[in-house]
Amino acid sequence: MANTFVTAKAIAERALPHLVERIKMLPLIEFGTYNGTFRKWGDTIQVRKPQRGDTVDGSSDISSAYQDISDDVVEIVLNNQRAYPVKLTSKEKTLNLDDFTRQISVPAMTKLAEYANAQVLNLYKDIPYFYGTSGTTPSSLADIANARKILQDNLAPEGNRSFIFDSAAEAKLLQLSNFAEIDKAGTNIALRNALLGRVYNTLMASDSQVPTHTAGGYSALADVTITTGASGASSIVLTSSAGTSTAKLEEGDIFSIDGYQFVVTAQTAAASSGVVTAAIYPALPMAYGDFSSAAVTFPDVSAGGHVPNLMFNKSAFTIAMAPLAPADGVDSAVVSFNGFSIRVVRGYDMDNDINKLRFDILFGVKTLYPELATRVLG
Mean pLDDT of 327-347: 93
Q: List phi, psi (to 5°) of 281.
A: -140, 140
d(CA 147, CA 375): 8
d(CA 247, CA 226): 16
Which pLDDT score, from 0 to 100, does residue 55 have?
Answer: 55
Strand partners for 281: 263
Q: Is 304 exposed, middle or buried (0-12, 13-18, 19+ CB in 10 A)?
A: middle
Cβ atoms within 10 Å, residue 308? 28
Which pLDDT score, from 0 to 100, does residue 192 have?
Answer: 46
Count the alpha carbons within 13 Å of 160 in the hemisphere toward its beta carbon: 16
Q: List phi, psi (to 5°) of 113.
A: -65, -40
Residue 27: band (very low, low, confident or very high) from pLDDT cuts 50, 70, 90? very high
Which pLDDT score, from 0 to 100, does residue 167 have?
Answer: 95
Which pLDDT score, from 0 to 100, does residue 195 have?
Answer: 64
Q: What is the per-residue pLDDT across 92-151, written as a single tens digit (0 to 9) for each?
A: 777 888 999 999 999 999 999 999 999 999 999 999 999 999 999 999 999 999 999 999
Which pLDDT score, from 0 to 100, does residue 35 have?
Answer: 77
Which pLDDT score, from 0 to 100, does residue 58 have?
Answer: 62
Which pLDDT score, from 0 to 100, does residue 68 have?
Answer: 61
Which pLDDT score, from 0 to 100, does residue 332 have?
Answer: 95
The yes-or-no verdict on residue 155 having pLDDT over 90 is yes
Which pLDDT score, from 0 to 100, does residue 180 have?
Answer: 45
Are 362 and 39 contacting, i.e. CB atoms less than 8 angstroms apart? yes
Judged by DSSP in three states, 211 sits in coil
Judged by DSSP in three states, 336 sits in strand
Listed in sequence order, the residues at least 6 apart from 44 whose beta carbon sits closer than 8 Å to its beta carbon are 75, 76, 77, 78
Interhelix angle 106-121/8-22, rounded to 10 degrees, is 40
d(CA 299, CA 358): 44
Q: What is the per-residue pLDDT across 49-94, written as a single tens digit (0 to 9) for each?
A: 776 655 556 667 666 666 565 557 889 999 999 999 999 877 777 7
d(CA 375, CA 74): 23
The secondary structure of residue 177, as a DSSP letter, is: T
Residues in the chain: 378
Listed in sequence order, the residues at least 6 apart from 79 whose beta carbon sits closer than 8 Å to its beta carbon are 41, 42, 364
User: What global pTM score does this model have?
Assistant: 0.89
Of all residues in the chain, the percent with pLDDT exceeding 90 is 72
Which pLDDT score, from 0 to 100, does residue 354 have?
Answer: 81
